[in-house]
Chains A and B, each alone.
Chain A
């Protein structure tokens, strides 16, 4: 069985400060891991993905995540938050094989203040 736990339901930062959104995963198989972002009234957008290549993954809009197998973590970071980063973020795990479903975490709401 696979699952993800997003450790914070809500994170608040000031514009220009670093962002850290935490995610732990559980998987019996070699996992693929993703971070998706959902802005209000917009569809889910892929930020970045890990599929057993480099453990440090760079995504869009300055986000990156590091896969740490020993800690079963896949935390999302950004050096400097922007107001436009305010959104809902989902950590996602799936099997590294065809035909498997995405398993979503419950989400972390990121608020950015000026």
Chain B
């Protein structure tokens, strides 16, 4: 059973560019959350998608947007990149019901470097 997968693993962009990160959830999971982990910090919640809708959003600007597809996979888009957007972006999937409710499974992350 494949766990959470993310692509690409590494990405280098320049300021002002746009980037799209992708995530495939663990099999059977229907909820996808995105987190930003700056160097030396704990992950910070960006937003969560459920039933193709953004259900909850953290304290991130509108430059950060996302999408969830009918197969539950998800994309994170960041526009007008800033140097401060350099971080590890983590995707986590979970099930919105059942015994494993609430437990989030994390992917390995995408390392974004903005120059």
Contact = CB atoms under 8 A, between A and B. Distances in A.
A60 interface: no
Contacts of A45: 106
A57 interface: no
A90 B42 CA distance: 7
A111 interface: no
A101 B33 contact: yes
Interface residues of A, number: 23
Interface in B48-68: 48, 50, 55-56, 58
A34 B58 CA distance: 19
A99 B109 contact: no
Interface string A18-56: 000000000000001010100000111110010100000
Nearest to A100: B56
Given A43-B90, A101-B45, A104-B42, A94 B56 contact: no
Interface residues of B, number: 28
B102 A101 contact: no
A99 B48 contact: yes
Contacts of A104: 35, 42-44
A101 B105 CA distance: 13
Nearest to B90: A44
Contacts of B103: 34, 46, 49
27 contacts: A43-B107, A43-B109, A44-B90, A44-B92, A44-B106, A46-B103, A46-B104, A46-B105, A49-B102, A90-B42, A90-B43, A94-B102, A96-B102, A98-B96, A98-B102, A99-B48, A99-B55, A100-B56, A101-B45, A101-B56, A101-B58, A102-B92, A103-B45, A104-B44, A105-B42, A107-B41, A107-B42
